[in-house]
């Protein structure tokens, strides 16, 4: 993703977005090549505060003697109870085993970075525990795809409401329609909507 080109496009197409870009720092997107780790991390961090999930994530990694992130096979060697022992919920422990099985079975192809966004979502959501939101975060922050717009994300919905000064949280169709000027850089626009929620910012 060409961040500078994307920011230039957003500034030209949308004056209000240009104000956010001027106000907040430039985003950083670093490609992650360990796809297994990225998905496991996403599951660990789901629906938990950053601090709690970081603690559980470190404990999870400490289960393994290897210095690098464990392989799918390493993870499958650990029992459900062992995964639970680091603070993972029943569901999350199962999901992590599901992801490890999917990688071992080749369900997640090595060449996932070369297929289209919709195909990536289709592929990942066949794994029980990986929903569309997790797949979208994977597209944005692991593969750095430039035009992902996670309309079901509460932070994005709130940011959108603030951005357009709406009385209530918008629905997906409204969001897609109003975000048309941000195409093909909706990933960057989304990042600024998240920042708008964090604030502080006033129009």
Please give the distance of CA 178 from its chain centroid, rounded to a whole number: 22
**How many other C-beta atoms are found inside a 10 Å radius of the C-beta of residue 158?**
16
Alpha helix (H) ranges present in the chain?
3-13, 15-23, 35-45, 50-62, 72-76, 80-84, 90-104, 117-124, 132-141, 154-163, 172-178, 186-198
Q: Global pTM?
A: 0.90
CB-CB neighbours of 84 under 10 Å: 14
* Tens-place pLDDT, residues 51-107: 889 999 999 999 998 889 999 999 999 999 999 999 999 999 999 999 999 999 999
Identify which of 14, 50, 45, 34 has the alpha carbon closest to the alpha carbon of residue 188.
14
Condensed to tens digits (0 to 9), the pLDDT of residues 157-202 reads: 999 999 999 999 999 999 999 999 999 999 999 999 999 999 887 7
């Amino acid at each position: 993703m060409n961040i500078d080109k994307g920011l230039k496009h957003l500034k030209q197409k949308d004056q209000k977005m240009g104000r956010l870009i001027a106000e907040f720092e430039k985003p950083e997107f670093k490609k992650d090549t360990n796809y297994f780790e990225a998905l496991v991390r996403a599951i660990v961090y789901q629906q938990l505060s950053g601090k709690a999930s970081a603690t559980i994530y470190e404990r999870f990694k400490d289960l393994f003697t290897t210095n690098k992130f464990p392989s799918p096979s390493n993870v499958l060697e650990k029992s459900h109870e062992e995964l639970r022992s680091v603070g993972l919920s029943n569901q999350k422990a199962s999901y992590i085993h599901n992801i490890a099985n999917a990688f071992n079975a080749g369900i997640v192809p090595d060449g996932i970075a070369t297929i289209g966004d919709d195909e990536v979502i289709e592929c990942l959501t066949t794994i029980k525990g990986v929903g569309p939101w997790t797949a979208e975060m994977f597209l944005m922050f692991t593969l750095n795809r430039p035009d992902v717009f996670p309309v079901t994300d509460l932070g994005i919905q709130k940011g959108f409401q603030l951005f357009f000064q709406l009385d209530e949280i918008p629905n997906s169709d409204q969001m897609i329609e109003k975000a048309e000027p941000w195409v093909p850089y909706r990933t960057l626009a989304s990042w600024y909507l998240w920042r708008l929620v964090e604030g502080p910012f006033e129009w």
